[in-house]
Amino acid sequence: MKKKLTLHQNNLYIVSIVKKNFQLMDTVELSCDVYEPDDGTNFEISPIVMMHGLLWNKFVFRNVARGLCNETKRRVYSLDLRNHGESPFREECSSFLMAEDVKRFLDENSLKKVVFVTHSFSSSIAYLIALERPDSVEKMVMIDNPPFNDFNDHFNRESVFPQLEIQNRLLKTLDPKMKLKDAKAKFLNLATLGTKGQECFYKKAAYDLTKENGAFKWKTDMEYVMDLYKQGLFSPKGRGSSNHETLIIRCPNSGRVYDSKFEAVLKHNPKARLVTIEGTTHLLMFEKTQEFLHIVKDYLSAP
C-alpha cells in the first residue's frame, strides 16, 4: 500500500550548520511516497528512508520501495530530494543543504531512528546525518557508492555527463504538437524494448516530462543541477568516522566502490560490509531486484 504525504512548502526552519553558529536556513519540505506492508507494519522496528541518485527521482524506486516494505515489514519513505522530481526548487543546493532538508523531514514526521537506503550520491547525505545525529540512524545501505563521493574527470565523462546528454536528446525526438500524455506514452513504450537499466531510464524520463507554453521540458532542472555538480557541491569531502553498521552493495567493476576504496572506507567505518551482485551495473537494484531485496532483508534482520 502506498500513501501520499501532504506537503506545506516554503516554511523556514532553524538549523545548526557549523558547530555553535546558527542561521536561518530556507529548507524545503520534501515530496515523499509512503509505503506500508500489505500484511501490516511492524512499528517496533525503524522505518526505511530511501533516497535516489543524481537527476533521478522517487518514481523509479516504486517497485523497489514496495518490495523493501513487504520483505522487511517496515514502513518505507521514498523521497524526492531538493531540486529533483516533485520537491521544491532552490537556487542554493548542495549535499549539505539536502541533508538539512532530510533532517527536517525526520523531525516533522517524528522519525526518531531510521534505516537509510541510498543510491549513488545520496549516500553522502545519509552519512552526513549519521555523523551529526548518530542516534537517529540504525543502519545504512549504500547502493554502489561509498559514504563520501570522489568523482574525477574521467569518471564524470564516462558515467555522469552522458546521462544528461542522452536525456536531453530525448526531448528532441518529441513533436511539439504532441500531447503530454502521448509523449509520456512514447517513452513508456521505449521502456519495454531494452535492458532493465534502459527501462528504468525511460520510465524516469516519462515521469520527469512536463509541458509548458507549448514546449516539452523536464520537471527537474537538469542543466542547473549538473552545473552545481560540476562545482563540486554534491561531493563533500570525507570527514569524521562512524560506528554505524553500513552495508555497501556494488556492481562488479564498480567505478565508485573499487577494492582500495572500500579499504579506505573501513578505516573510518569499521562496521562497514561489502557485497557484490554479479551481472549488474550501477542500477543493480533494478536489474536484480529480488537478489537486492533478499540481501537487504537479511542484513536488516541480523541483530
Question: pLDDT tens for residues 171-191?
Answer: 999 999 999 999 999 999 999
Residue 202 and residue 191: Cα distance in Å, rounded? 5
Question: pLDDT tens for residues 58-68?
Answer: 999 999 999 99
Q: Given CA atoms 236, 114, 16, 132 in this order, what sign does their dihedral have? A: negative
Question: In whole angstroms, how large is the CA radius of gyration of the chain?
Answer: 19
pLDDT at 104: 97
pLDDT at 8: 32
Q: Can you tell me which residue has the cell 526552519?
A: 13
The model's pTM: 0.87
Assigned C-alpha cell, 5: 504525504
Q: Given CA atoms 281, 246, 5, 37 in this order, what sign does their dihedral have? A: positive
Q: Please check the confidence at residue 290 and state whether its pLDDT lies above 60.
A: yes
Exposure of 302 by Cβ count < 10 A (0-12 exposed, 13-18 middle, 19+ buried)? Answer: exposed
